Amino acid sequence: MDEGGYVALSTVEQTTEELVLSFLADGGEDFTSGEALSGKLGLSRTAVWKCVASLRDKGYRIDAVPSRGYRLVEIPDRLTPLELQPLLNTHDLGRTVHYREELPSTNDFAFRLAQEGAFHGEVVITERQTQGRGRRGRNWISPPGLNLYFSAVLRPELPPQRAPELTLVAAVAVAETLREAGGDAGIKWPNDLQIGGRKVAGILTELSAEPEQVHFVILGVGVNLNAKKTDFPPEVAEVATSLAEARGQKVPRALFAAALFTRLEQWLDVHQREGFEPVRSAWRKLSITLGRDVLVKTERREFTGMAEDIDETGALLVRTREGTTERVIAGDVEQLRTQSPHQ
């Protein structure tokens, strides 16, 4: 251990406080003895106690019972590396977190970091965006301290024409994490996450590439976790919801973020190893668009039809009344009936 209180752990450096927290988090509801902690970390019992005291000052609730040890009871509702690192078991994603109280847009910040050489898996997280961006030039309303806004730098081994598949990879990971956390989420093509017909999360991917080679992809994700209707302007409140609203219970944001990073990395690994097919079949199961009548709006035209499937590139296949199959690669779909397989 060096003077600054850092311990080198394989590829990741963790502070002593992060290490104490990971041991306590691993212990779950059980107590971890002071002796075990000091033995594992090579610290004196007094140093462990000081570390626990400093964590309590930062808002962590840690029980200490003589002869039993320490137990982590509550973590503060922040998304700094101190909260996230102990909860993560990813190999790359989120191992480096750039946390800022406020940013115009995490995508813009991550894009600059990537241009300067940021590694695959580095993540930018903020509490509040002043110019959060959505698809097709829209805004992403980002009230402070309630939701999750992050962008990941990805350096996949993919030809540029396959980069759009990553958006569907992310949609599957976000939908599964929302469902695991108690929200009945489905995916509206291409990558809107909805609960009960209202938007709960969105994904914005941006690419830097040459014709033959991807330099990097910025994967930006916004998830409404604890926002209430009153936290949004009226026009957004009408169409948006949050996970807390859907499940009727506040969401611990760091736990949700760690669960999402884990799932996202698992799906990125599957995609890298096995290609798009397993992603496509998971996407189909989570889709609330397939099998529905839709109004398709692209930059050039509007038409209606039945959303039949997505093809091997992720494009939506729509069967029109005239009997033709239209392939939609970019645009918005409006679902014309309210019933769906998931809601």
Distance separating alpha carbons of residues 184 and 64, to the nearest angstrom: 38
Nearer to ligand BTN, 105 or 226 (CB): 105
Nearer to ligand BTN, 135 or 342 (CB): 135
- Least gap, CB of 260 to ligand BTN (angstroms): 12
Nearer to ligand BTN, 14 or 335 (CB): 335
Nearer to ligand BTN, 21 or 219 (CB): 219
Radius of gyration over every alpha carbon of the chain, rounded to an integer in angstroms = 22
Distance separating alpha carbons of residues 121 and 138, to the nearest angstrom: 26
- Least gap, CB of 1 to ligand BTN (angstroms): 35
Nearer to ligand BTN, 48 or 218 (CB): 218
Distance separating alpha carbons of residues 190 and 71, to the nearest angstrom: 43
Task: Classify residue 21 by burial, with Cβ atoms within 10 Å: 0-12, 13-18, 19+.
Answer: buried
Structure tokens at 134: 């959505």
- Least gap, CB of 146 to ligand BTN (angstroms): 13
Give the interface with ligand BTN as residue ranges (CB under 6 A): 105-107, 129, 132-135, 138, 140, 149-151, 192, 202-204, 220-222
The answer to whether the Cα torsion of 152, 156, 160, 161 is positive or negative is: negative
- Least gap, CB of 137 to ligand BTN (angstroms): 9
- Least gap, CB of 201 to ligand BTN (angstroms): 8
- Least gap, CB of 274 to ligand BTN (angstroms): 27
Distance separating alpha carbons of residues 203 and 127, to the nearest angstrom: 17
For residue 70, which of 85, 87, 42, 50 has the smallest C-alpha distance? 50
Q: In DSSP terms, which residues pair with 200 in a beta bridge?
A: none
Polymer length of the chain: 343
- Least gap, CB of 106 to ligand BTN (angstroms): 4
Nearer to ligand BTN, 223 or 246 (CB): 223
Nearer to ligand BTN, 96 or 106 (CB): 106
Q: Where are the beta strands (DSSP E) in 113-262?
A: 123-126, 148-154, 185-188, 192-195, 198-210, 213-223
| Nearest residue (beta carbon) to ligand BTN | 202
First to last CA, the chain: 52
Strands 97-100 and 123-126, how do they pair? parallel
